[in-house]
């Protein structure tokens, strides 16, 4: 069932009854959302257990291991698209409420219309496009809900019995024996078509961190720190292109009101001279709106390295060509930014020149095609320390989450640590980085992110030089193999998505046809060995970011009966046996061509 009204009573008061089990996906939005929820629970002295999960199997295992100690369960970004009644065997625990906070869409309709035990929490005012119950289930009046699946079609005899039982006997006699069957079949075909269209595309909606920030605000438990975590979650969504520009701008406009409200309160407490006030300038957190440059980590890198490593400038200047690199140097010269200055660390650049950079870019935007170089975002400053942008924090946290283990330097004792334990530890480290006194961890994440971004830049150069992106008829395809430099770092889900977005954008400048085709990127999977990851993206020409490759991956796997693992939390990622990859791609191409025709 869906709950959006009176979240204090229907959601938070239920959590306060006892220990809460929090199951959170391994991404930045879930990181921030779980941190907000923890702050709320800590304020009311509520005990909780936090378990990060990386797959549906992790979700099931963690639930089975810990649910007996909990009086309620909250899943964050790891439950909305899966029928939880079946996956978690909830019939064995009918009194345990399961609250689902998730940005993944479409919602599984069994979670929406099935047992009231599963409660999907959405922000008040948000709309959810789901079919009406009477359009997908004809048995609700008798209290016998049928599984909401497009694959469960009844037999002919069942059609007659079920249809006839719904109407008076005299009416059935007048209609004739075949009328009920035909009517039932028409309804079934309509239902299957409706469900197909509903489940066809996967996409993202409001991030979990903003749903929980909104809850905190209505509980009067929000503060600048909680708001900052909500901003980071939204920024991560935007950087990974999970939401479009229109949705992002709408959310930013709402957040600006909250930022102004908190800053006004902070200023009033400062002027009032309240002793020990959290608004004291040397200790308090101050948020501000600003236009952020689309230059990756430019405040923590050299300006030159940031420009040659960022998706935006790489594609605008086509930096994989000598002509493009020369044009970028020409742009820097027109800005009056000497090469020696641009190759210094940003913080060491001439202060006046550094402050002029955004306006200089704006003046040259028409000449170099940089009209949308900036986007609205937020900065945070603790006391008198340097500002930290939401984009930098999101990138740093993602790098900490996706940090890979150094198998070469592992000791025998450390090598026994499971990959799940290692990922969970990374998640907790990244959550520590959200605290305001953990700048060391943030800088560690930024340095890790710079390494990853440099590897991505090198991979783009290789893809363009060697023409590694190929057209397989109905989709574009590229592959990272074991010989790719830094392939272990590039093969983690979050990094692989950013790399796929980078390659898709770059290649679309060389091939106009590719703009209208989905893109599939393959990379080695190390857990388990012998598999490869396949990640799918919608066509770059698509404005709504809706992706049909997740469903196509699933159908292809079922049709081929391939050895595939489909329990990734991102439905557009699948793991396939290396030996079956070519066959899988052939069948995928066939399936997509059938859907087009």
Report which secondary-structure segment, H or E, holds 209. helix 208-218
Gap between the Cα atoms of 55 and 27, Å rounded: 12
Q: What is the pLDDT of residue 169?
A: 52
Gap between the Cα atoms of 23 and 478, Å rounded: 34
Find the Cα–Cα–Cα–Cα dihedral 221, 222, 223, 225, rounded to 10°.
110
Gap between the Cα atoms of 522 and 496, Å rounded: 9
Q: Which residues pair with 577 in a beta bridge?
A: 531
Gap between the Cα atoms of 585 and 270, Å rounded: 62
Q: What is the pLDDT of residue 13?
A: 96
Longest dimension (CA), the chain: 93
Q: What is the pLDDT of residue 406?
A: 53
Place of tokens 């066939």: 590
pLDDT tens, N- to C-terminus, the chain (597 residues): 999 988 999 999 999 999 999 999 999 999 999 999 999 999 999 999 999 999 999 999 999 999 999 999 999 999 899 999 999 998 888 899 999 999 999 999 999 998 899 999 999 888 888 999 888 887 644 444 455 654 444 444 444 444 444 445 555 555 555 777 888 888 899 999 999 999 999 999 999 999 999 999 999 999 999 999 999 999 999 999 999 999 999 999 999 999 999 988 776 666 554 433 344 444 578 999 999 999 999 999 999 999 999 999 999 999 999 999 999 999 999 988 888 888 988 888 888 888 888 888 889 988 999 988 999 999 999 877 778 999 999 999 999 999 875 544 444 444 446 767 888 899 999 999 998 878 899 999 999 999 999 999 999 999 999 999 999 999 999 999 888 889 999 999 999 999 999 999 999 999 888 999 999 999 999 877 889 999 999 999 887 889 999 999 999 999 988 888 888 999 899 999 999 999 999 999 999 998 765
Gap between the Cα atoms of 255 and 260, Å rounded: 9
Residue 574 φ then ψ, to 5°: -140, 150
Q: What is the pLDDT of residue 333?
A: 93
Beta strand pairing status for 573-577 and 564-565? antiparallel
User: In the CATH scheme, what architecture does the domain 463-596 have?
Assistant: Roll (3.10)
**Of 372, 369, 388, 370, which is closest to residue 380 (Cα–Cα)?**
388
Q: Where in the chain is the domain with CATH 3.10.310?
A: 463-596
């Amino acid at each position: 069932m869906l709950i959006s009204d009176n979240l204090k009573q229907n959601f938070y008061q239920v959590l306060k009854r006892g220990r809460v089990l929090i199951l959170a996906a391994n991404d930045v939005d879930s990181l921030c959302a779980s941190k907000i929820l923890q702050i709320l629970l800590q304020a009311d002295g509520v005990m909780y257990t936090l378990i990060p999960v990386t797959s549906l199997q992790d979700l099931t295992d963690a639930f089975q291991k810990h649910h007996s100690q909990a009086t309620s369960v909250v899943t964050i970004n790891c439950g909305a698209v899966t029928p939880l009644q079946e996956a978690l065997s909830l019939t064995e625990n009918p009194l345990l409420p399961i609250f689902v906070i998730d940005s993944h869409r479409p919602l599984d309709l069994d979670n929406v219309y099935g047992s009231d035990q599963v409660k999907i929490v959405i922000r008040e005012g948000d709309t959810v496009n789901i079919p009406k119950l009477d359009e997908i289930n004809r048995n609700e009046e008798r209290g016998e809900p049928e599984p909401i699946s497009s694959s469960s079609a009844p037999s002919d005899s069942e059609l007659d019995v079920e249809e006839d039982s719904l109407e008076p006997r005299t009416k059935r006699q007048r209609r004739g024996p075949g009328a009920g069957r035909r009517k039932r079949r028409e309804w079934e075909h309509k239902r299957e078509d409706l469900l197909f269209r509903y489940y066809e595309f996967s996409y993202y909606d409001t991030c979990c961190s903003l749903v929980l920030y909104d809850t905190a605000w209505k509980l009067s438990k929000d503060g600048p720190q909680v708001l900052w975590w909500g901003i980071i979650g939204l920024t991560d969504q935007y950087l990974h292109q999970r939401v479009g520009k229109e949705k992002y701008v709408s959310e930013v406009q709402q957040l600006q009101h909250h930022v102004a409200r908190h800053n006004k309160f902070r200023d009033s407490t400062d002027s009032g001279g309240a002793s020990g006030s959290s608004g004291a300038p040397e200790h308090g957190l101050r948020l501000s709106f600003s236009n952020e440059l689309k230059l990756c980590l430019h405040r923590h890198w050299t300006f030159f390295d940031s420009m040659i490593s960022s998706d935006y400038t790489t594609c605008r200047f086509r930096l994989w060509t000598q002509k493009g690199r020369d044009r970028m140097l020409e742009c820097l010269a027109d800005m009056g930014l000497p090469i020696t200055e641009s190759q210094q660390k940003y913080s060491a650049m001439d202060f006046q020149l550094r402050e002029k950079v955004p306006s200089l870019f704006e003046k040259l935007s028409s000449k170099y095609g940089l009209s949308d170089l900036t986007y609205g975002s937020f900065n945070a400053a603790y006391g008198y320390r340097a500002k930290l942008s939401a984009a930098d924090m999101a990138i740093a946290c993602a790098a900490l989450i996706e940090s890979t283990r150094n198998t070469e330097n592992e000791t025998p004792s450390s090598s026994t640590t499971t990959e799940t334990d290692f990922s969970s530890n990374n998640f907790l480290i990244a959550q520590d980085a959200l605290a305001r006194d953990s700048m060391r961890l943030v800088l560690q994440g930024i340095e890790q992110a710079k390494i990853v971004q440099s590897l991505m830049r090198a991979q783009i150069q290789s893809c363009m030089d060697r023409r590694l992106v190929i057209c397989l008829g109905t989709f574009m395809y590229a592959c990272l193999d074991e010989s790719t430099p830094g392939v272990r770092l590039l093969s983690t889900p979050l990094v692989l998505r950013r790399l796929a977005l980078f390659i898709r954008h770059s290649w679309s400048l060389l091939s106009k046809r590719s703009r209208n085709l989905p893109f599939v990127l393959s990379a080695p999977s190390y857990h388990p060995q012998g598999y490869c990851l396949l990640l799918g993206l919608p066509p770059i020409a698509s404005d709504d970011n809706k992706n049909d490759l997740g469903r196509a991956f699933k159908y292809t796997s079922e049709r081929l009966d391939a050895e595939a693992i489909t329990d990734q939390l991102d439905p557009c990622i699948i793991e396939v046996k290396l030996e079956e990859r070519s066959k899988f791609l052939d069948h995928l191409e066939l399936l997509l061509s059938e859907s087009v025709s």
